[in-house]
């Protein structure tokens, strides 16, 4: 069993899919590990560290030659891994809805593509969930980015020269990233409030010491779909939420938006008219900017200013903390493969529940129902 780890080629991608820790663990399972030279440099991991952990460090062609499994953060270009074994697994974040052409190319090449972002949100798969591990640090970083752009202090400060008021920070979308944003902003001393379409998050918001801002009078709408993800809301709810949020946003110094719906463009949460009600010098961080954005006027990869308000739209937020996010991502991959490792076959053997959920291609065809439906 040969496991290959390739160097990421996507623009701005600094993460790596394995660390010396996971290389050593794969070796203990009985796998031979090969890693492309320089794969970990942007995540502060030297080639010598991989070699010391037992990996073979080589160029890309030698790394993928006869590989049974190829690990990546993002899916490698199909032509760049042509030397792998027929039917080799590609295990990575594959962006199945946004990069269908690449998925079709994997099928045509005979690879079995496994999309880690399709991992079901069930108890036994929590340690394999790349979306949660990466979103956690994204929420943390979003607050730091907001603090860097905000021209004032976060905490209330009482000085001999007078009092500095605490910054007011509003989180929209309370999944993993939103909860970490709340916790981080509270640690920095901000006055924090938050909202979400899922009624179940109200208790979570309040448990972190933040104020919950919720639509109260629209009955029968919970906003939670399969796996705990948010769902598309009714027009009645959207109108009620827009009215509530508009009044609240005008009083905020910082807003962080995190709302995503799998397989669909990010929902629009903040309009240009709402931005215009905010005070000059306020900051909005849009964590959904790469999926179309929660904020009108947000631009992926840029910090723009509208009505005196800065809108931060950094791409690939997890990559901005590459050392830590790589460590977590690599553990997700190891936890996944090791959970299904068959000692007699010296290879992982997937069960139906998780295998069917994450398998995109097999036998030269696209087989995942979420892509075929």
The catalytic site residues sit at 121, 126, 129, 132, 229
Report CA-CA distances (Å) from 367 to 114, 117, 188: 11, 16, 47
Torsion, CA 308, CA 312, CA 283, CA 266, rounded to 10: 110
Quote the CA–CA distance of 187 and 183 in Å, as a whole number: 6
Residue with tokens 């031979």: 32
Locate tokens 């607050």: which residue?
A: 143
| Chain length of the chain | 373
> What would the DSSP string read from start to end of 103-157?
HHHHHHTT-EEEEGGG----GGGGGG-HHHHHHHHHHHHHHHHHHHHSSS-SS-E
Termini Cα distance of the chain? 34
Coil, strand, or helix at residue 303? strand
């Amino acid at each position: 069993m040969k496991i290959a780890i390739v160097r990421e080629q996507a623009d701005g991608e600094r993460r790596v899919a394995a660390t010396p820790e996971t290389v050593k663990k794969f070796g203990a399972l009985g796998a031979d590990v090969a890693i492309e030279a320089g794969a970990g440099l942007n995540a502060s991991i030297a080639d010598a560290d991989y070699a010391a952990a037992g990996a073979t460090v080589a160029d890309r062609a030698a790394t993928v030659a006869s590989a049974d499994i190829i690990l990546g953060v993002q899916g490698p270009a199909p032509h760049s891994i042509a030397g792998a074994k027929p039917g080799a697994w590609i295990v990575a974040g594959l962006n199945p809805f946004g990069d269908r052409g690449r998925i079709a190319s994997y099928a045509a090449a005979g690879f079995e593509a496994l999309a880690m972002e399709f991992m079901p949100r069930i108890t036994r798969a929590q340690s394999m969930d790349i979306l949660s591990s990466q979103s956690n640090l994204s929420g943390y970083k979003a607050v730091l980015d907001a603090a860097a752009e905000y021209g004032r202090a976060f905490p209330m400060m009482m000085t001999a020269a007078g009092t500095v008021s605490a910054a007011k920070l509003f989180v929209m979308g309370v999944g993993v990233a939103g909860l970490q944003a709340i916790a981080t902003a509270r640690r920095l001393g901000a006055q924090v409030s938050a909202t979400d379409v899922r009624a179940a998050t109200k208790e979570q918001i309040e448990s972190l010491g933040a104020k919950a801002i919720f639509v109260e009078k629209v009955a029968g709408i919970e906003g939670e779909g399969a796996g705990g993800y948010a769902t598309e809301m009714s027009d009645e709810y959207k109108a009620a939420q827009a009215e509530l949020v508009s009044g609240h946003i005008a009083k905020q110094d910082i807003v962080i938006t995190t709302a995503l719906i799998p397989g669909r463009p990010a929902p629009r949460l903040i309009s240009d008219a709402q931005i215009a009600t905010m005070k000059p010098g306020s900051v909005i961080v849009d964590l959904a900017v790469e999926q179309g954005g929660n904020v009108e006027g947000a631009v992926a990869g840029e910090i723009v200013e509208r009505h005196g308000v800065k809108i931060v739209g950094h791409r690939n937020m997890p990559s901005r903390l590459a050392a830590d996010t790589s460590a977590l991502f690599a553990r997700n991959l190891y936890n996944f493969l090791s959970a299904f490792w068959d000692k007699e076959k010296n290879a992982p053997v997937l069960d139906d529940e998780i295998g069917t959920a994450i398998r995109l291609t097999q036998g030269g065809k696209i087989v995942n129902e979420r892509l075929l439906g």
